[in-house]
Amino acid sequence: MQVSAAASVKRIPVSFLVASFWLGVMSIAGIVQAQPTPSSPESELKRAQFTELEKQLGRASRKKVAALEDDVAALKDYPLYPYLLRQQIDQRMDMAHREDIESFLLNYHNQPFTYGLRGRWLRYLATHGEKKAFLANYRDGMGATITCQYLQYQLEDAGQPEYWLEKVEPIWLAGRSQPDECDPVFKKWQQAGMMTGDMVLGRIEKAALSGNPKLIPYLKRKLPAKEQYLADLWQRIRTSSSLVLKKSQFPLKNKETEGKILAYGLEKLAWRDAGDAIKAWYLWQPADVFTQQQQLDVTRAIALSLAIDDKPEADEWLKRADVSGAADDVKRWHMSYLLRHERWQDVLDLIAAAPEYVQQDEAYRYWQARSLEAMGLPEQAGIRYRELAQERNYYGFMASARVNEKPSLKHIATPRSDENMQMIAERPAAKRAQEFLALGRLIDARREWRYLVNSLDTSQVKDAALLASEWGWFDQAIISFTQSGFLDDVEKRFPMAYAEQFDDVGRAYDIQPAFAMAIARRESSFMVDAVSPAGARGLMQLMPGTAGYVAEKRVSTDELFDAGQNVQFGVQYLRYLMDKMGDNPVLVSASYNAGWRRVMEWLPAGGNVETDIWIETIPYKETRSYVKAVMAYRYIYEHQLGQSSGLFEQLAKSAIPPATGLSSPGGRAGGTYAPK
């Protein structure tokens, strides 16, 4: 978890940020998160006209589209006018309007309202046999269907087809079924002798690893008879990893491929039954079937599986796995295992032997200081704690508590350029984003904003972030600040979003607003229409079933996308978890992410475990990072709300009890979520 960084201006791709939240989004009519500009009767009239025209064009005949041309032209100065032009073009997709279509694509190159248009135009041209126009409009990266059609056209006239056939390989090597348009190209590729056995095996491997086993029987038929058993092995190992224990099933006639299958099966088996995986490991060692990377991968899986389950053999296997070239999480779990058993000298030795870049990581610096403290060397520990305490992150805050110092926030306001902000606000994409916000169409607004930010110079991204912040567009302000590299503006990166709602509901259910706001900040960055891959929705990312359970009624999607109601249900759920987990904020945070039943399984079996050690040994990486982030965010929001905070002092002095040691504070029965 990273809360801080030097105020550099390194640009971070939007794709990274969106992947780090793992959030999809839905557009819900009526959601208005931000009002960037005051409404006027004129602007409201134009929005109403645009909305009505958009509806009419969406269902209009060609004759009706022509009849609406004057109405569309009347909105020429309205920011969303290009979207109406796009609708006109969608309804006139034919060769008679080729010039209009291609001019639109040229003039508005890659702007959001053109998305999908080139592909639609190319599909039309292919369907109607307009080869020359198709080739003129094709661009790379259009997907398998269009690319295969393009290659098919090129191969029809190619004097030297080898050039075009070489482009088939990346299309072939996909772990999923490809469209029918690719079949003629694959056939010519095969006839040219380029569909080798290795190519077929490569695609079988991708199909197996990407979870598309139905493709394997089709590919098996393309292998020579003597190699078809390899397809069967891939198919079987997916459903039965214990196959690696049966030496007779692997004749090693194709050592390289069988080694891949065995390594894959061993990794799967290690997570299910590390003991059986160890047996299989020793079974295959004399055969020398594994590459160096495969050995690293398999020993990692065995070591981590043993460490997570705290098995006695974990010590030996962690030493085997923690070698040069190993994944970063091997050393982290090696340290966590030693911490769990309070082997402080071994922790120090492990860190001392690590590469310099590892030693400088805040986690290793904290645990180095912690080990020195545990070994009775407070002065050496204090030096390291105080140095780390200058950083704004979970470990910095923990270090502060260890030396009884106030955690450092180091807030630095982002330098402001009114000239740049005005320039950005006047850009067409910014105006379109404003209009979509006013219309409550948040997906469209974000799409325009991403296009805008990606078109700016790196130095101007922070001005866009400030602009979004002034608009009250919390999620895009947070994301844009991260892109800009200006991470020290604590007030803007941790906005007081929906603070009144969090305060009102928090009082009713005895939940500190700072805690609930920290959860919402981590869950969605205050994106009111956020949807996770699992289906969690809204500010506090609630599953519909969870919201319905605490509300004791069926909860609709619209309710979950309403900020006020989402806060209500989310805080109720926090109260429910607090009652389950003895008002322990660490256990509640972990439960919010991973589920309280799973967290109960992670509680100590015997005596208490110190809180920081328990957090460091949470089995799920996502939950470990989540808990650290929420604790740090909660402290920041306590500061933002002007509250005194003893949170990290509490974490530094407390311990996580066994399940039998949990109690419901105040005599509340578990599962009570009525207001106090």
Phi and psi (nearest 5°) for 484? -70, -25
Distance CA 243, CA 266 (A): 9
Q: What is the mean pLDDT of the chain?
A: 92
Is the confidence at residue 339, as pLDDT, over 60?
A: yes
By the 8 A CB rule, do 590 and 619 touch? Answer: no
Rounded to an integer, the average pLDDT of 60-68 is 92
Q: Could you tell me if 489 and 503 lie in one domain?
A: no
Q: How far apart are CA 414 and CA 197, in angstroms?
A: 58
Q: Do 503 and 649 fall within a single domain? A: yes
Q: Is residue 116 one of the residues assigned to a domain? A: yes
- Overall number of domains in the chain: 3
Residue 591 shares a structural domain with residue 633: yes
Q: Is 494 helix (H, G, I), strand (E, B) or coil?
A: coil
Residue 7 pLDDT grade (very low, low, confident, very high; cuts 50, 70, 90): very low
Bigger pLDDT: 616 vs 660: 616
Tens digits of per-residue pLDDT, 209-257?
998 999 999 999 999 999 999 999 999 999 999 999 999 999 999 999 9
Residues 74, 28 share a domain: no
Per the CB < 8 A criterion, the answer to whether 299 and 320 are in contact is yes
Helix axes 563-580, 585-594, angle to 10 degrees: 120
Question: 90: closest CA among 53, 124, 131?
Answer: 124
Q: Does 286 fall in a domain? A: no
Amino acid at 255: K
Q: Both 519 and 483 in a single domain? A: no
Question: Measuring CA to CA, which residue among 303, 299, 320, 300 is closest to residue 311?
Answer: 303
Rounded to whole angstroms, the Cα distance separating 528 from 118 reads 32
Average pLDDT estimate for 87-113: 96
| CATH number, domain containing residue 646 | 1.10.530.10
pLDDT at residue 413, rounded to an integer: 96
**pLDDT above 50 (res 671):** no
How many Cβ atoms sit within 10 Å of the Cβ of residue 593?
Answer: 23
Note whether 28 and 148 are same-domain residues. no
Q: Say if residue 58's pLDDT is above 80.
A: yes
The residue among 36 and 558 whose pLDDT is bigger is 558
- Res. 19: pLDDT tops 60: no
Same domain membership, residue 180 and residue 50: yes
Looking at the domain assignment, is residue 119 inside a domain?
yes
Nearest Cα residue to 488 out of 417, 416, 394, 412: 412
What is the pLDDT, as a whole number, of residue 39?
77
Q: What pLDDT sits at residue 661?
A: 85
pLDDT of 667 higher than 80: no
Q: How confident is the model at residue 34 (pLDDT cuts 50, 70, 90)?
A: low
Asked if 227 is an active-site residue, the reply is no
Residue 313 lies in a domain: no
Asked if the structure places residue 315 within a domain, the reply is no
Query: Residue 449 pLDDT more than 70?
Result: yes
Token readout for 476 is: 């895009």
Q: Are 515 and 632 members of one domain?
A: yes
- Domain boundary (186, 216, 241) is at 186
Q: Tell me the DSSP string of 116-150.
A: THHHHHHHHHHHTT-HHHHHHH--S-S-HHHHHHH
Please check whether residues 468 and 546 belong to one and the same domain: no
Give the per-residue pLDDT at 37: 57
Residues 637 and 527 reside in one and the same domain: yes
Specify the pTM. Answer: 0.90
62 part of a folded domain: yes
Does residue 88 sit in the same domain as residue 19? no
Give a yes or no: residue 343 inside a domain.
Answer: no
Domain membership of residue 455 as a residue range: 14-35+425-493
Domain end residue (candidates: 135, 158, 186): 186
**Catalytic residue among 523, 610, 616, 638, which?**
523
**525-576, pLDDT tens digit by residue?**
999 999 999 999 999 999 999 999 999 999 999 999 999 999 999 999 999 9
Supply the CATH number for residue 133's domain: 1.25.20.10
Which pLDDT tens digit goes with each residue over 160-196? 999 999 999 999 999 999 999 999 999 999 999 999 9
pLDDT digits (tens, 9 = 90+) for 452-493: 999 999 999 999 999 999 999 999 999 999 999 999 999 999
pLDDT of residue 489: 97
DSSP secondary structure letters along 563-604: HHHHHHHHHHHHHHHHHHTTT-HHHHHHHHHH-HHHHHHHS-
Query: Which of 186, 217, 244 marks a domain boundary?
Result: 186
